[in-house]
Every structure is written in structure tokens, then in C-alpha cells.
Amino acid sequence: MTLVLVVMCIVVGVMELYAGRQSKQQAAAFVRRIEELNDQVSKQNGVLTTVGERLTAELARVKSEVLPGIDSRLRATTGQIDELTTLLRQNDTYIKAQANRLHDLENQRVTLAALRRKLAELETSVRSGPPVADENPATGGRVEAALSRITDLERNGDRILELQRALTRTLEDVEDVVSDLLEFTTGELDESMSVSRNGLAPAMLSGRLWNRDPRLHDVLTDVYERCVKAHRLTVRFRTSDEERGRLRYFLTGRNSEELGGGIAALLISIGMDVTHGGPREVPADEAALQALLRAVHESSGATVQLGPLVVARTREELVCAVLTLAQSRELEDDELLWDPAGAVARLRLLPGHQVWDLTAWAAAPPAAPSS
């Protein structure tokens, strides 16, 4: 019995020693883990401190450099808007005055026509009546002179009316330009506010449109602007060179990389229609792009730029490409964006994944939409 008790005591002692050793190991591991966590927290605190210092420095730089510039730009833009608004009001007043003047001239023309009829009737009655002994021979001459004078006045009145209408059209064009400038300046103000809020300036994309056939000018312009809207872009400003038939657009709403990727996917889908064909559901942006490409194909020569997209149409080919910013700048510097043949030759030198020859696709009749 004593031996059993001794053995049990020994076993209990061994177990206590083992448990104590395990507790020490666990405590040591726990201490090491706490130290590791302390090291990580210290490192993170250091990183956060560094980031905080950088943010503080960046905020100080924005306050000292960016915000004053934005404030001065906002004030300058506001002044420009006020000036343009004043000019627009002056144009409205002048146009109304010219309209009243035109109305007066119309009334004078009617009065002159009535007077001419009366003089003609008087001349007829004088010539058809019996001769009078004391008739003055110069009466007929005075009547003829009066009729001639009235005719000259009517002719001058017609000329004045034509000049008045031309002036009215010119003033309307000026009003359109001022309205565009006002809209553009307002957009610049909105961009300045956006920059002040998030520090990011929206990208400005370039757009161009030219075709050799003047009869297609209005159609191509309408289809192009519909395509711009379908791709979620906004026309910020538009300039025109009527002598050479060139239109220049300034577009915003999406960055070049995103727009280029989307258009490239649409061109791949359109290119697959050449080989596979068959009806399919066409999204709105692709339908607008197809309409633009088919309208360009109707011309004997045209160039189109929509951000990174460049379309060139010669008498034989319809070639499209999605360019990088550097490639677009190179074509612009070489003035190839107004030269269909030169643009096609340059686009042919680009990598194959950037270029699409859609001549066969555009020449084929459109596929019927899937039901």
C-alpha cells in the first residue's frame, strides 16, 4: 500500500512538473506573440505617421498653391461669363431693333407699292382722257419721273431688306457662337469646381470630321454627334472651317483608355460580322458606331476622329483604328487627320490588333436585327 502511495505521489509530481513546464512554454510563446504584435503595431504606427506627414504636407501644398490658382481661375471665369452674358444681351437688343427696322421697311415697301399703283392709275386716266387745251406737256414727264423714282426706291428697299436679312443671319450666328462660348466657359467653371473637390481634372478628347462631298455634310454631322452622345460623351466646344469643310470637336465625359477599349470591343464585334454574319442584338453604342461608319462609307473621301478612334475613307477603302495618345498626336502633327489617303497609309503601318478594314462590311447590306 505504501509503495502504491509512493508511486502515485511520484506520478503526480511528474505530471505537475510537466504541466508547469508546458505552462512556462505557453507563457513564453504568449510573450513572444505579444512582442511580435507590439513590433507590428510600432511599424504600422510609423507608417501611419509617415503617411500622415505626407498628407499634411500635400494638404499644405494644395492650400498654398492649388487653391489660390483655382480661386483666381474661378473669378476670371466668372468675369468672362458676365462679359459674355452682357454681350449676349446686347446682341438680343440689337437683333430686336433690327427686327423692328425690318418691319418698318416692309411697311414702307407696302406703302410704296400702293403709291405706285395709284400713280399708275393716274397716268392711265390722264393718257386715256380727252386732250385739254391748257394741258401742260410736262405733266406726263413728271409722272414718269415719279414712277421711276418710286421704282428706284423699291429697288433700294429690296436691297436694304436683303442686307437686313444678311445682317440678321450674321447676328444669329454671332449669338450661336456666344452661346457656345458661354456653355464652354460654364463647363470650365464646373471642371474647376470638380478639381477643387477631388483634385482630378477630367480628360479633354479631340474630335474631327471632314468629308469631300458637301451634300453629306449635314448628315455626317448629325450622325457623328449622335454617336458622341451614344458613347456617353459631351461636346464641350465646336469650331468650323467652312471654307475647307472641317469641323473640330472638344469632347469630355470619359478618359481615352476607357473609351478606346470600349470602341475596340465594338470594332471586334463588327469585324466578326464580316466572317460569321447572322442576326444578333446590337447595343445602342454599337448601333450608333455602325451608323457613323456606314454614313462615312457613302462618301468618296472622309476622315473622322472620335477620341482614340480614327476612321479614314478613300474611294476604295474604309479603315478604322484605335490609337494611343502618342499615335494620335503623331497623326495630328503630320496633319493626316484631314487627309484620307495619307491616314489610311499610316494606319496600315500600325499593329494588326489596332486596325480594322471594314470595306467589305460597309459595302454589304445591313443584317436584319434579331427578334
Tens of pLDDT, residue by residue, the chain (371 residues) = 777 777 788 888 888 888 878 888 888 888 888 888 888 888 888 888 888 888 888 788 777 877 777 777 777 777 777 777 777 787 778 777 777 777 777 777 777 777 667 767 766 765 665 554 444 555 556 656 666 766 666 666 667 667 667 777 776 777 676 666 666 666 665 565 455 445 455 578 899 999 998 889 999 999 999 999 999 999 888 888 878 889 999 898 888 899 999 999 999 988 887 666 667 788 999 999 999 999 999 999 999 999 999 999 999 999 999 999 899 999 998 889 999 999 999 999 999 999 999 999 988 887 655 54
The answer to the question of residue 293 being in a domain is yes
- Full-prediction pTM beyond 0.85? no
Three cell numbers written together for 179? 452661346
Q: Do 117 and 220 belong together in one domain?
A: no
Identify the CA nearest to 180 among candidates 240, 238, 258.
238
The answer to the question of residue 4 being in a domain is no
The answer to the question of residue 170 being in a domain is yes
Determine the length of the chain.
371
Q: Do 155 and 90 belong together in one domain?
A: yes
Q: Please tell me the total count of domains within the chain.
A: 2
Instruction: For 288-300, give one letter per residue: b (16+ CB within 10 A) or e.
Output: bbbbbbbbbbebe
Q: Do 176 and 218 belong together in one domain?
A: no
Three cell numbers written together for 160? 436694304
The answer to the question of residue 337 being in a domain is yes
CA 369 – CA 278 distance, rounded (Å): 9
Q: Do 211 and 196 belong together in one domain?
A: no
Q: Do 106 and 234 belong together in one domain?
A: no
Three cell numbers written together for 82? 458676365
